[in-house]
Structure 1
Amino acid sequence: MDAPSLPAALELVAGAGLGLSPEKRAALGSSLVLLQRDYRFERVWFWGCIQGVRGAYYIAEGLGPDRAAPRSRLYSLNCVEWSLLPPATEAMVAQAAQLQGRFQGDPSFEYEYPAEIDAERAGNVSEDDEKPTMKEEARLVATIEQIDRAVGIVPRGAFVKTPLGSVCENRNFEGLSFTEAKKLSSYFHFAEPVNLKTKTLLEKADLDPSTDFLDSLEHDIPEGSWTVQLERGDSVVVLRSLLWLGLTFYHVPMTKQYGYVYFGTGEKNIDLPFML
């Protein structure tokens, strides 16, 4: 969610019980502007909040000219003071996926891996090796990366890919029609495409390479991992992820208003296939 449109955007997703206190909204309104100035970001998004046992992490993302480039991620414990997170690596994402349980709310907290993972390493380590651990700060940025890859979405046509390969906002995008806004196929994962690479040449011939360069939600596995609802007198389309509970996306058809926010515990719903 864009910092300037944050108050209105939070109102649009309030139907899911998501939101911030007036004090937190006021603090974000001023601190995100200073964050953009101090770090010289072209744009700052409020990503959401991961609730820990003893505290919450408020997350912001800084973007540059290329919207598909790796984002700078920052966290705050009070919506005023921000700390820059290290870039997420594939190793960090893989390690974080092995951890279960709630966040503690302490960036310096260290997790020990489950006993079964230690058993797998037993044949390759000596007695002098320390037990593998992961700091919560590393788990935090890896979890944000996981959520962005899996359920960070944008409407079709909101971004265009230039001939040089960079991705920028489409100035001609005026929103989806009411009919298109109700379809999962009208929304794309804002991440490196996976299914698109496996399409045949005949299927790719029907796609516009400048706008259809991302994966559509209609092919998500398991099927049924998204809910599509109309709210506020059918004037707002709201998508909610059942895989990462707490992720809510909104779009006002025929306008440029869209965005997503996450308010949850940072835990993946691994029971979803059995719930559908």
Structure 2
Amino acid sequence: MDSQTLYFSLELVAGSGHILNIEQRTALQTSLMILRKNYKFGRVLFWGKILGLKEDYFIAQGRGEDELKDKKNLYSFNCMDWFLLPPATNCLINEVSKAARGRFIGDPSHVYERVLRIHLEDDEEHEEVVKVSEENRLAVTIHWIDEEASVVPRGAFIKNPHGIVQMNRSFCGLSDSEARKLDSFLHFREPRNQKESILGMCELNQTIDFLDVLSDDIPKGSWSLQFECARKVCVLRSLLWLGLTFYHVPVTPHNGYIYIGNGYRNLDLNFML
């Protein structure tokens, strides 16, 4: 959620139990402004919080000219001092997938270690020791959640003729009827599932229809759509990443998402549906 509307936005997702105390809100309001200036971000979002056994990680995300590609993630323990996370490269993702197990500790220097036994030809075994720091695990977890659960309403972002994705300044929000349909919401990531049959639809607008729709997600039913706050706010919750909540106030540009959870993907989703 945008740091400039943080107080307002947190009230809209309070029904999910996503709350911060007064000290944290006040600290974020000041520090995120400073963060934007120091790193020369175009926009700063309060991404959420990942719960650890000793400490919790507060996460901020800075956006550059291209909101889809120019992203930097930072973490803090006190909502004041921020530390830049490394980018989630394919090599890093592979290491985290192999080594990281269990709850987050709350110590970025903590090292996860796992011994892998690799079977070779002639029944021989080779042992490989994989090590990864919790800081790297945090970077990869944020990347996974953004890839699988970040949400924007249709029309909130546009792609200009140079291929740069930016906020649509003329976006006035979805109508009440549009906000009740799952295909009015898009994944804010590089598109994966666009089909040629969709490109042939006469109502397609390539300026805004360049992202994947949530209704194409597999398995079906991985999103819960409800209206809250006297049926004035549309709220989407991810059942794949429990703790991810998106909000949108219809007929207004106000929208955003926040994640507060333990950083675990819900592997039981198929059995829940």
TM-score bracket relative to the smaller structure: over 0.9
State the Cα distance separating 1:70 from its structure 2 match.
3.4
Q: 1:161 aligns with which of 135, 159, 162?
A: 159
| Other-structure match for 2:241 | 244
| Residues 11-20 or 84-93, more deviating | 84-93
1:106 aligns with 2:107: yes
Native 8 Å contact 1:239 1:250 kept in 2: yes
| Other-structure match for 1:3 | 3
Q: How does 1:17-96 map to 2 (within 5 A)?
A: 17-96=17-96
User: In structure 2, do the counterparts of structure 1 residues 210 and 133 end up closer, same or farther at CA, with 3 Å as the change threshold?
Assistant: same
| Other-structure match for 2:133 | 135
* TM-align CA RMSD: 1.8
Residue identity opposite 2:132 in structure 1: M
State the Cα distance separating 1:203 from its structure 2 match.
3.6
State the Cα distance separating 1:207 from its structure 2 match.
1.6
CA–CA distance in 2 between the matches of 1:155 and 1:121?
48
Deviations 1:142-177 (A, max 9, x none): 000000010001000001111110011111110000
CA–CA distance in 2 between the matches of 1:126 and 1:250?
49
Deviations 1:33-91 (A, max 9, x none): 11111111111000000001111000001111111113011000110100011111122
Native 8 Å contact 2:117 2:125 kept in 1: no
| Residues 63-72 or 187-196, more deviating | 63-72
Native 8 Å contact 1:52 1:104 kept in 2: yes
CA–CA distance in 2 between the matches of 1:169 and 1:87?
23
Residue identity opposite 2:50 in structure 1: I
Deviations 1:188-243 (A, max 9, x none): 000011111x4337645542110000000001011100000110110000000000
Q: Classify the secondary structure of the residue corresponding to 2:177.
A: helix
CA–CA distance in 2 between the matches of 1:152 and 1:27?
25
| Other-structure match for 1:265 | 262
Native 8 Å contact 2:226 2:234 kept in 1: yes
Residue identity opposite 2:249 in structure 1: V
- Structure 1: gaps of 5 or more residues: none
- Structure 2: gaps of 5 or more residues: none
- Counting aligned pairs with the same residue, the percent is 49
State the Cα distance separating 1:31 from its structure 2 match.
0.6
TM-score when normalising by structure 1? 0.93
Q: Classify the secondary structure of the residue corresponding to 2:23.
A: helix
CA–CA distance in 1 between the matches of 2:232 and 2:221?
23
CA–CA distance in 1 between the matches of 2:46 and 2:119?
39
Aligned residues: 270
CA–CA distance in 2 between the matches of 1:40 and 1:106?
28
Q: Classify the secondary structure of the residue corresponding to 1:23.
A: helix
| Other-structure match for 1:274 | 271
CA–CA distance in 2 between the matches of 1:19 and 1:201?
39
CA–CA distance in 2 between the matches of 1:204 and 1:229?
28
Residue identity opposite 2:227 in structure 1: L
CA–CA distance in 1 between the matches of 2:198 and 2:16?
41
User: In structure 2, do the counterparts of structure 1 residues 107 and 122 end up closer, same or farther at CA, with 3 Å as the change threshold?
Assistant: farther
| Residues 62-71 or 76-85, more deviating | 62-71
CA–CA distance in 1 between the matches of 2:203 and 2:252?
26
